[in-house]
């Protein structure tokens, strides 16, 4: 279990295989991303992650 930042492509609805951090805003062009805490790799694929998009994270950098 570890903290991750999962990149979610809202068209494909599939988590990218890479875990990217830190990340610039350009990566998120036409994409959403979700910060997930204390989740396993299997949890990343869970449906609920795609409904909990936190766009406010884009404003952190």
pLDDT attached to residue 41: 54
Q: What is the pLDDT of residue 53?
A: 46
Contact by Cβ (8 Å): 38, 4: no
Ranges of residues in the chain whose predicted pLDDT is under 70: 1-61
Strands (E), 1-61: 2-9, 14-15, 32-39
Handedness of CA 55, 58, 7, 22 (dihedral sign): negative
User: Burial letters for 20-29: b for 16+ Cβ neighbours within 10 Å, e otherwise?
Assistant: eeeeeeeebe
């Amino acid at each position: 279990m570890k903290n991750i930042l999962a990149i979610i492509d809202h068209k494909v609805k599939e988590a990218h295989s890479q875990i990217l951090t830190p990340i610039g805003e350009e990566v998120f062009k036409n994409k959403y991303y979700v910060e997930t805490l204390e989740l396993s790799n299997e949890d990343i694929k869970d449906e609920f992650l795609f409904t909990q998009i936190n766009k406010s994270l884009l404003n952190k950098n």
